Amino acid sequence: MTHLLRIDEPPRVAPGGFALFALGFRPFYLLASVFAALSVPLWALQFSGLLGQPYLAAPIWHAHEMLFGFTLAVIVGFLFTAGRNWTNLPTPTGWKLAALAALWIAARVLVLTPYALAAAVANVAFPLAAAISLALPFVKAGSRRNYFFIGLLVLLALAAGCVHLAQFGVAMVPGWLGIQVALDVVLFILAVMGGRVIPMFTNNGVPGAGASRNVWAERAALGGVLALLAADVVGLHGWPLAALAAAAGAAHAWRWALWRPWRTLRAPLVWVLHLAYLWVPVHLLLRVLAEAGWLMPSLATHALTVGAVGGLVIGMMTRTARGHTGRPLHADRFEVACYLLVAAAAAVRVLLPLIAPAQIVHAALASALLWSAGFGLYAVRYWPALSRPRLDGRPG
């Protein structure tokens, strides 16, 4: 039986050794950042026809890969890392973690090939494998409050399957339904984790900040996202969907204000999370306006994906990587540059077309460059930390 590393065991590698597969965040943060930096140029090459005729063509490839590639990799890396702390039981490490990373890579490559069935299997298998890997320690530890993460990963697998079945012409629903369901699931995961960590990080990182939580704000914010998910599954549109989005947006704005974001301006590791979460109510407001026919739905989508997802991902990847590699919880100029580049990518992609709709192509191109620069800088900066053992000699 393969021996699994326990929390209280001493590290098995020398301080100068290789530790990329010592804990879940390491390979998946690195893969996600590299993929984020390269995927937009790949999308441009695919759109131009230079990559031939792959299985998934733009723009659905772009949406699919940002969700089931980039975002899912970060979610899995975070959950594997946090899950070990929540249960005090091991999550995949070593060859098991390497195998999961290889499956993720295979899924990214296969969607660029004509091998449709293999691509579909790999993309559905990865979130299912991650769900099983989390279910084992969660169930063993009786961590019932976290069981829903297993269900969300399974739901993401179903959403990916919906996209691929639609491509095969088997499903009677459009592939974009799977994309929208995945967007809602990701929004719910962000809302749950944001509510857990942002107030805590705020009070820990900014003494006297007074970030607080209100039970009614929590219920309204999370319930509103679940209501939107249900509405999207059944195909609700028009004023009923707009009303749900408006109510959810108000709840998330209330929740965000309770965290006292204006008191975090001197703490980059904290303000980056607040700035990113602000895009959640903005996304929901833009969904309202899109349902009214006043703007393009893609602006609401990019407020979520570039603004909220991008900002929270870059903020959490720097903070958790620092903490879990034994480094001080302090953002240096490189990390602040990453934050500003990703924040600028969101502002340019969403706000410029709102002000000058004719500039949407230029906005998309400028945003892509900013996004690639921000995550590329993270990958270069954090490769040594992610691939080497912790500075304090502890496992993980």
Domains of the chain by residue range: 16-173, 196-389
Is 28 in contact with 92 (CB distance < 8 Å)? Answer: no
Please report the pLDDT score of residue 283 as a whole number: 98
List CB contacts of 28: < 8 A, sequence separation 6 or more.
73, 74, 76, 77, 80, 101, 104
Please report the pLDDT score of residue 55 as a whole number: 66
Q: Which residues of 32-61 are buried (b: 16+ CB within 10 A; e: fewer)?
A: bbbbbbebbebbbebeeeebeebbbebebb
Dmax over CA atoms of the chain, in Å, equals 62
Cα 396 to Cα 391: distance, rounded to the nearest angstrom: 11
Q: Which residues of the chain have pLDDT under 70?
A: 1-16, 44-55, 57-58, 171
Omega within 30 of 0 (cis) for the link into 59: yes
Cα 210 to Cα 351: distance, rounded to the nearest angstrom: 31
Token duo for residue 67: 């969700």
Token duo for residue 55: 């299985």
Token duo for residue 314: 């870059």
Please report the pLDDT score of residue 52 as a whole number: 59
Give 260's DSSP letter.
-
Which residue type does 332 have? Answer: D
Taking the alpha carbons of 320, 156, 249, 226 in that order, is the dihedral positive or negative? negative
* Residue 88: strand, helix, or coil: coil
Which pTM value belongs to this model?
0.92
Token duo for residue 342: 């990703």
Please report the pLDDT score of residue 334 as a whole number: 95
Q: Which residues of 175-191 are buried (b: 16+ CB within 10 A; e: fewer)?
A: bebbbbbbbbbbbbbbb
Query: CB neighbours (10 Å) of residue 140?
Result: 10
Cα 380 to Cα 373: distance, rounded to the nearest angstrom: 10
Please report the pLDDT score of residue 49 as a whole number: 59
Place of tokens 């301080």: 15
Which residue type does 280 have? Answer: V
Please report the pLDDT score of residue 59 as a whole number: 80
Please report the pLDDT score of residue 92 as a whole number: 97
